[in-house]
Structure 1
Amino acid sequence: MTFLYIQRYIDIASLQMKKAFFQLHISVFLAGFTGILGRLITLNEGMMVWYRLLITALSMWVLYAVFSKRLQKISWQDILKISAVGFTAAMHWVTFYGAIKYANISVGLVCFSAVGFFTALAEPLILRKKINRTELLLGLITIGGIYIIFHFDTEYKTGIILGIISAFLGCLFPIFNRRFLQRINVETVLTWQITGGFITLSVLLPFYLQQFPVSRFLPGWEDLLWLLVLSWICSVLAFRLTANALKHLSAFTVNLTYNLEPVYGILLAFMVYNENQYLSRWFYLGFAVIIGVLAFHVFLVIRSEKRAKALQEELHPDEKITL
């Protein structure tokens, strides 16, 4: 009887895992689409992220505080900590869109794959657990793929550097969010994170614009339309899906799955902007290495699940499971 309850729990957990993976992949596709939006929106990267955070923060407060009333009361200490994570997320987006604008969509997106390497190092340090050598090796191979592109396509140097900085910053907030989500609901974490990111970026923005002056501060009608898509679809919806997935998946799995973001984004860039005409064979070689890493990780996950099932059957060969 005890085994039946354990098996039922495992089946429920498996269903939750499948749902989490589905939500994660929808979020990854939306993240890939942000690369297209980064080029469609003509504002510079700092102003673009500032408007994104403004629209997203206002939308979340209206949606979660006024209508659904899903916001929890949390301490000022938690608000400050979540806001600090929000600033990290804001700077991740600034450097990400900077990579796209200084290079192109494909280069900016493929550099984001370095997030797996940084996660393999940062997650054990932050969560105080043993480093997984397999994860670290996969991350190092990904870095090797990016190096192939960097070494032979030097015209994209600035964009690649910004992309790698973006990947480092991008590995941090999923790790911290996972800890917050163990005791605070998704809506509260995301609302305060986006709000904190907006406030801290607003303080930094005047100094940023002194170094990178812009000719205009207000978006045109077309830019405003794409900013709404970026904020409502690719932010509010995508963040919620990713946060839900983090409840059942490790930060490394989430970040490594986000290596599909370049796949979706680059395919869109090929279709919309014909970027394949401007990329050398070294880009495709480096990209192939990164895709190989992702495929191998999927193989390892599937093999691990099969071994776990085989072990259960070996231990209880005659058990019939009835849900």
Structure 2
Amino acid sequence: MASRNDYYKLHFIVFLWGFSAILGKLVTIPAVEMIVWRALFAFLGMGFVIFTTRSSFVVGTRDLIRLLLIGVIVAVHWIAFFGAARVSNVSVSLIGFATNSLWAAILEPWFNRTRIKKFEIALGLVVIFGLYIIFSFDFQYKLGLLMGIAAGFTSALFSIFNARAVKHLHPFTITFYEMIGVFLAALLFLPVYQHFWATDHVLHLLPSGVMDVIYIALLAGVCSVYAYTVAVELMKRISVFVIQLSLNLEPVYGIVMATIIFGSAEKMGWNFYLGTCIIMLAVGAYPVLKKRVAAARERAGKAA
């Protein structure tokens, strides 16, 4: 059972992940190249932690393959998340990501072979309505928002898989091999990225200066090694949906910090904020509706 300290940890790492979008925006090299470095630093740092704490690197072949494949999903998540901030801005990236809890509400029952609740579908439609309001006007960051939504989907997906893995593997081991998976996936994606999307078909693999190295090191050490490991460990006691729901505070933290740091670049039209409010209300309504539905079923069971 989760303790109060567990929830404090959860909200602290949510704050750190909200700040990660800003760090990613501050790095001057393109997002894909940055992710290669972040993943490299992350798995080397995690390897050092495992070595110094005398934890285990040993996993079975099947678990190794699964963890590496989850790492591929994390790589897609990072590319979509940081790419969204680059083609639009931090606020748009974070709002698209805010759909993660509703993705979890749909995906978790599907993977666990339980029924999807009607009110979850209804809330999903409300979220779609909120996105429609954003898109229906002259919204110039449509690609960024779609990439942010993809980041939310992949976040829910790898969280569900990690919740299963942590039942029999140490969080340090999970993080280590998944970061290797991220690194390999990002590395293999570089030629495709260079051919189709890189400016002038040129890669910019070398950090532009000391600050780039510092920002990437913070992303790897604080937002990956520490935050990711803590999140995986918390999955032993907190459900995937609660974690994903808490992650919806990430846009709140991130947008406030981004507005302070980047100023007018983060200012949007009224339709963006109206659509954002609708999305956040739908997400916030989920636990209330879930509790009421559970209470109604309990009363119906007693009456029968």
TM-score, normalised with respect to structure 2: 0.89
Structure 2 partner of 1:53: 39
Identity %: 33
What is residue 183 of structure 1 aligned with on the other side? 168
Matched, 1:260 2:249: yes
Question: Counterpart of 1:154 in structure 2: which amino acid?
Answer: F
**Secondary structure of 2:115's match?**
coil
Asked if residue 36 in structure 1 is aligned to residue 22 in structure 2, the reply is: yes
19-28 vs 221-230, which moves further: 19-28
Amino acid at match of 2:173: T
Q: Which residue of 1 aligns with 2:234?
A: 245
Structure 1 unaligned blocks of 5 or more: 1-12, 312-323
Q: Assess, with a 3 A threshold, how the Cα gap between structure 1 residues 28 and 217 changes in structure 2: closer, same or farther.
A: same
Contact 1:72 1:185 in 2 (8 A): no
Aligned-partner residue type, residue 187 of structure 1: F
1:30 and 1:234 in contact (8 A); partners too: yes
Higher Cα Rg, which structure: 1
> Structure 1 stretch 173-182 or stretch 250-259: which is displaced more?
250-259
**2:94 is equivalent to residue 109 of structure 1:** yes
The answer to whether the aligner puts 1:234 opposite 2:223 as a matched pair is yes
Q: Hey, what does 2:110 align to over in structure 1?
A: 125
The Cα shift of 1:94 comes to 0.4
Mapped partners of 1:169, 1:283: distance in 2: 23
Q: Distance in 1 between matches of 2:168 and 2:222?
A: 26
Give unpaired runs (5+ residues) of structure 2. Answer: 300-304
Distance, in Å, in 2 between the alignment partners of 1:144 and 1:32 is 25
| Contact 1:117 1:143 survives alignment (8 Å) | no
CA distance in 2, matches of 1:300, 1:50: 41
8 Å CA contact 2:80–2:150 kept in 1: the answer is yes
Q: Aligned residue for 1:204? A: 189
SS at 1:258 equivalent = helix
2:7 is aligned to 21
8 Å CA contact retained: 1:120, 1:135? yes
Residue 224 in 1 paired to residue 210 in 2? no
| Structure 1 length-normalised TM | 0.84
CA displacement 1:237-272 (0-9 Å, x = unmatched): 111221122111221221122111110000011111
> What is the match of residue 274 of structure 2?
285
Residues 118-177 of structure 1, C-alpha deviation per residue, up to 9 Å, x if partnerless?
222221222222223333433332332223222224311111121122222221100000
1:132 & 1:246 partners in 2: Cα distance?
23
- The match for 2:302 is none
Match of 2:147 in 1: 162
Residues 277, 188 of structure 1: alpha-carbon distance in 2 compared, 3 angstrom cutoff: closer
Return the letter of the residue paired with 2:205.
F
